[in-house]
Amino acid sequence: MSNRDVDVVAYDPRLRGQMLDLAIRAWAPVFPRLKSDVPGFVYDAFYPDGWEARQRSDVAAVLDGEPENVDVAMIDGSPVGWVCTRLHPEDSMGEVYVIAVEPARQGEGVAKALLECADRRARRAGMRMMMVETGDDSGHAPARSLYERGGFVRWPVARYFKDLRPGL
């Protein structure tokens, strides 16, 4: 399948539940690997009620708070992925804020079509560059590969965490 077989359309809030569930399915393989790659106190601080509860809440906030920035990939009339593109005019930058692809459709050009849509959205708004963030853990390796194949250049950033709880 090529990304020409993927139609990318504006988000319809009636798809909210499907988009939430799709994101959780897409990220389910990532979080167990993330948990084993980061310090336990960091993982526990970010996901005290589990990764799924945090992600579901964060994704719902995006879908509810900025539906105009969300585009949905459709194949044969069914949603198979989505992207939220934020614009940062102060930096002349577009940002791929969220991207999720149905696991059974990963590797079929859906993410590429969504990234191309995000690029078009940013170009139309006069942005000069695109940015996407992802983890450096093993669970996010496929995402890093996708972004690099899509022309994104890695900016070396180091993020450090320190446990402030007594006695540890």
Domain assignment present for residue 53? The answer is yes
Residue 3 confidence (pLDDT) above 60: no
Residue 80 confidence (pLDDT) above 70: yes
Tell me: the pLDDT tens digits for 109-159? 999 999 999 999 999 999 999 999 998 888 898 999 999 999 999 998 888
Residue 60, token pair as written in the block: 């719902």
Q: Are 80 and 55 in contact (CB under 8 A)?
A: no
Residue 168 confidence (pLDDT) above 70: no
Task: Give the SS3 label for residue 155.
Answer: coil
Domain assignment present for residue 163? The answer is no
Domain of 71?
A: 3-149
Residue 167 confidence (pLDDT) above 80: no
Domain assignment present for residue 63? The answer is yes
Residue 20 vs residue 157, higher pLDDT: 20
d(CA 85, CA 96): 5
Domain assignment present for residue 167? The answer is no
Tell me: the pLDDT tens digits for 97-123? 999 999 999 999 999 999 999 999 999
Which whole number is the average pLDDT over 87-104? Answer: 97
Domain assignment present for residue 100? The answer is yes
Domain assignment present for residue 159? The answer is no
Domain assignment present for residue 160? The answer is no
DSSP per-residue codes, 84-148 = EEEEEGGGTEEEEEEEEE-GGGTTTTHHHHHHHHHHHHHHHTT--EEEE----SGGGHHHHHHHH
Where residue 58 sits, what CATH number does that domain have? 3.40.630.30
**The pTM is what?**
0.90
